[in-house]
Amino acid sequence: MSDPHRSTVDEADKATERQSPDVRAALPLVPSPAQRHRRGGRGFSSALRGGRVAGLDGLRTVAVMLVIVYHVEPDPLPGGSVAVDVFFTLSGFVITRLLVAEYARTGRIGLGSFYRRRWLRLVPAMLVMCAVIALLSVALPLPLLDGAWVAAGLAAASVVNLVRAGESGPYTDITAPLSHTWSLGVEEQFYLAWPLLLLVLLRQATARSVLGWVAALCVLPVLWRTVLWDPTAAHRIYNGPDTRADQLLVGALLAVVLARLRADDPRLALLRRWAGRLCWPALALLGLIAWQVPITEESRWNPVWYTVGFLAVAVLSATVVAALDLCPRSWPSRLLSVSVLAWVGRNLSYGMYLWHYPVIRLLSDLGVDGGRLLPAGIVVTVAAALASYLLVERPLLRRDRFRVRPLEPVATPARAPAA
């Protein structure tokens, strides 16, 4: 899973923190039109607004806990995998906000720096988890670990989703020990393609045109799923990076919209008001889906869910994300901004997602079952995530932070911002 995952930590704030104090002081919160011309912002006047949003970090914690409960007790929450959909939209939002902010500030997107940060944030922790599972498969004769080294290799290569998409019947055991990494594959494949496409749009189109293109891209996966839909194509649709792209792109569209609107734009005030009003209904509908819709099983919901359903959930998720970003004093924001929730979402949610599935299955193979499995699984998962954060993730990110040089604005040809 966005970032299912702390892969979606508010990186725009971190990118600004990496700048030296002199450089940060030289970058105004809302650049003037002349500054936007020189820096290549092309109408994204508010791209630098904001920073870390504690409510979004808390949302990550709630989402990853929902996934854990779903994998232990799927019967009470047959639609618990909807949390993955929330992660996708959240990932698209934060990553795009980072990219647009950098372009508005400097007139370019440092693709090398972006991919390096993504690699350091996601891959080392993944490789450690895969290595541990591969070693355990050699050392312990447990059902889960039979042939687990193959699944570990596929997960390390971020292709579990592609393997699962090619299976028309029941899923085989080839990816079973690490089958949850399918969502990480979808996100990482999106991260490879989206910055390149976004950079082309930002260079070639006005801000208004970028909005239109991103909105159009959100619709294409829906049309493609409608063409593909057949009960035998459920795995293809559920795991494909192309068929799940709209959920990430809806988050990207929200980021572009917010970057497009100036702080004093009445449309931003209107968006803030309606996002605040619709946040609770959106959360309630997402909860209803988790409670009542068997997403990964055959049911009467499948034709709707596997065509327009993914987009509908992305819109609900984007509504929640917009409210948390724009309405920090609302009750949903206050609840999700509780320090413990925010800290776990910011620092441990990615590790918890990585480790929870093999931990739960290992405990089950070792005889931990019934009412003990969920609390034991949460405790061991949090411990593994904390070790991953302290020993792998944080040291690498700190080392990279010291290596990053301040970004200097670059000159670009003057072009009047779009109305």
SS3 264: coil
Instruction: Assess contact for 108 and 410: CB atoms under 8 A.
Output: yes
Listing DSSP states for 157-190 in one string gives TT-HHHHHHT--SS--TTSGGGGGGHHHHHHHHH
**Tokens standing for 362?**
């290992």
**Each residue's pLDDT tens digit, 291-324:** 999 988 888 889 999 999 999 999 999 999 999 9
What pLDDT is stored for residue 403 in this prediction? 60
Q: CA nearest 194: which of 292, 121, 95?
A: 95
What pLDDT is stored for residue 18 in this prediction? 43
Q: Which of 134-143, 334-343, 407-416 has the highest mean pLDDT?
A: 334-343
* Nearest-5° Cα angle at 199, 193 to 200: 95
Side chain identity at residue 402, one-letter code: F
What are the boundaries of each domain within the chain?
6-402
Instruction: Assess contact for 278 and 323: CB atoms under 8 A.
Output: yes
**Tokens standing for 20?**
């030296």
pLDDT: which is higher, 263 or 253: 253
Residue 362 to residue 366: CA distance in whole angstroms: 6
What pLDDT is stored for residue 41 in this prediction? 52
Alpha carbon separation from 399 to 102, 124, 318 (Å, rounded): 21, 13, 33
Of how many residues is the chain composed? 419
Residue 330 to residue 279: CA distance in whole angstroms: 9
Residue 62 to residue 83: CA distance in whole angstroms: 9
- Residue in the block written with tokens 């795009």: 96
User: How many other CB atoms are there within 10 angstroms of residue 256's CB atom?
Assistant: 27
**Tokens standing for 352?**
């918890």
Kindly report the pTM of this predicted structure.
0.85
**Each residue's pLDDT tens digit, 116-128:** 999 999 999 999 9
**Each residue's pLDDT tens digit, 265-285:** 899 999 999 999 999 999 999
User: With 0-12 CB in 10 A as exposed, 13-18 as middle and 19+ as buried, what is 317?
Assistant: buried
